[in-house]
Structure 1
Amino acid sequence: MTSNATTVEEYIASVPEERRPFIENIRKIIIENLPEGFEEGMSYGMIGYYVPHSIYPNGYHCNPKLPLPFITFASQKNSINFYHMALYMDKGLYDWFVAEYPTYSKQKLDMGKSCVRFKKLEEIPLELLGKLVKKVSVADWIAQYEKALKK
């Protein structure tokens, strides 16, 4: 489920009231740990963090008018989903996250290629998400992205 909200604040206001604190806490931990250069805004109907065109003018290869996406998260029907593109592209980062997850949560990891689904909202491992967000700088993300494009 994506949103037609045009701002992060509008998106948060549209989330069911019982989920808002969890969305706000994820946003807060991302903002506190996000490396310099990434920007926040709406991306694909979700709250997103991306490399702006001022830093990476080429934009996203699927639609160059869009900035290069990095992290998005959203309230879905049965979970809050957190998407981190570097988890998909960096096996070392993925392996680190999978290994660390049990230290921060008693819940079974529910994860796709870049998507982590949180069904028990009280169990979202915010500290781990903060550590994950810190691990990839803008320069590192652009380098990973461009390397993947060349393949």
Structure 2
Amino acid sequence: MRSDATSPKEYLSALPEDRQAVIGEIRQVLLDNLPKGFEERMSYGMLGFVVPHEIYPDGYHCDPSLPLPFINLASQKNFIGLYHMGIYSDPELLKWFQNSYAELSIGKLDMGKSCIRFKKMDKIPFQLIGELASKMTPQDWIARYESEIKK
């Protein structure tokens, strides 16, 4: 579900109360763990964490006027979606995440290419999300993006 909110605060306040708490907690985990250089803003109608033009002037290849997206967080109809471009483009990071998730024994991982879906709000691995967020700097993401995606 795409939001018309113009700020993260507006996005959060428009969510149902139960989702506000969970999205708010994931958002704080991301803010606390993302390496310096990423910026939070609205991106594609979701909470977004991007590499700003000040660090990567080329922007996103699909629309260079946009900053380079890295992580998005959204309240979808039946789940909370965490979209992490690093696990989409880095097989080693994906493998680490899948193994780490399995070790938690909290159920089956529900995942697409870059989307991790959380359907059970009481089974969200906040600490693992924080660790995942900390694993790539903006410079790491730019290098991977240029070598794997922007060809």
Q: Which residue does 1:127 correspond to in 2? A: 127
Q: State the distance in 1 between where 2:142 and 2:150 align.
A: 12
Superposed CA offset, 1:12-49 (max 9, x none): 00111111110010001001101000000000000000
Sort the Cα spacing of 1:75 and 1:150 in 2 relative to 1 into closer, same or farther, 3 A: closer
Give the C-alpha shift of residue 102 in structure 1.
2.1
Please tell me whether residue 89 in structure 1 is matched to residue 89 in structure 2: yes
Deviation at 1:149, TM superposition (A): 3.9
| Aligned residues with identical type, % of pairs | 56
**TM-score of the aligned structures, taking structure 2 as reference length:** 0.97
Paired residue for 1:10?
10
Contact 1:105–1:125 under 8 Å retained in 2: no
> How many aligned positions are there?
151
Give the 4+ runs in structure 1 shifted more than 4 A: none
Task: Assess if the C-alpha contact under 8 Å between 2:47 and 2:72 holds in 1.
Answer: yes
Q: 1:79 to 1:105 in 2, by over 3 A?
A: farther
Residues 105 and 67 of structure 1: CA distance in aligned 2, closer, same or farther (over 3 Å): farther
CA distance in 2, matches of 1:94, 1:120: 21
CA-based RMSD: 0.9
Q: Match of 1:112, as an amino acid?
A: G
Q: Which runs of 5+ in 2 are unaligned?
A: none
Contact 1:104–1:128 (CA<8 Å) still a contact in 2?
Answer: no
> What SS is found at the alignment partner of 1:29?
helix
TM-score when scaled to structure 1?
A: 0.97
Stretches of structure 1 that go unaligned for 5 or more consecutive residues are none
